[in-house]
Amino acid sequence: MGNFRQKVMTMTRLVFVGVLLFFSGCDSFFVLNALVIDARTETPLSGARASLVLYKGVGEPNIIKTSQNDGRVRIIMNEPPDAWATLTIKKEGYKEWSTQFRGAPCNEFAIRLIPSDEVPVVPSSESKP
């Protein structure tokens, strides 16, 4: 009788583990962690608007978050982690920043916004005597 009970307990555990594995595979998450900073001063920027648009996703097509006081933005979406995405950052007084990538970045990355009053220096093609 003890052997039968042991077999039943083993089968119950196997079924339980199988159910857990099945349901853990149903959800996968696209996670993005970024730090928004001023390109000139390297200080964190709060209140920057981060817009993430996913292509060929299965759920939410896009999401908008705002950077916190420490400049950090965290976006979590119930989407495959290898989805195509476009991230756009906007903040008043700064030039818009945008990039496209496939798959959620593995680590937090810094986004350096350029103040809109800065004019990029473009070398002249003419030589001056």
> Does residue 91 form part of some domain?
yes
Beta pairing, strands 30-38 & 109-113: parallel
In a domain, 95, yes or no: yes
Residue 86 lies in a domain: yes
Residue with tokens 């008043």: 92
pLDDT of residue 2: 64
Q: What's the pLDDT score for residue 87?
A: 92
Summarised one tens digit per residue, pLDDT across range 81-109 is 777 889 999 999 999 999 998 877 878 99
Assigned domain for 4 exists: no
**What is the torsion angle, in degrees rounded to the nearest 10, for the CA atoms of residue 43, residue 48, residue 53 and residue 58?**
90
Q: Is residue 97 part of a domain?
A: yes
CATH number of the domain enclosing 40: 2.60.40.10
**Which domain covers residue 42, as residue numbers?**
30-113
Task: Note whether residue 101 is domain-resident.
Answer: yes
Regions of the chain where pLDDT drops below 50:
19-26, 127-129
Q: C-alpha dihedral over 47, 103, 101, 117, to 10 degrees? A: 20
For the chain, the domain total comes to: 1
Question: Is 91 within 8 Å of 48 (Cβ atoms)?
Answer: yes
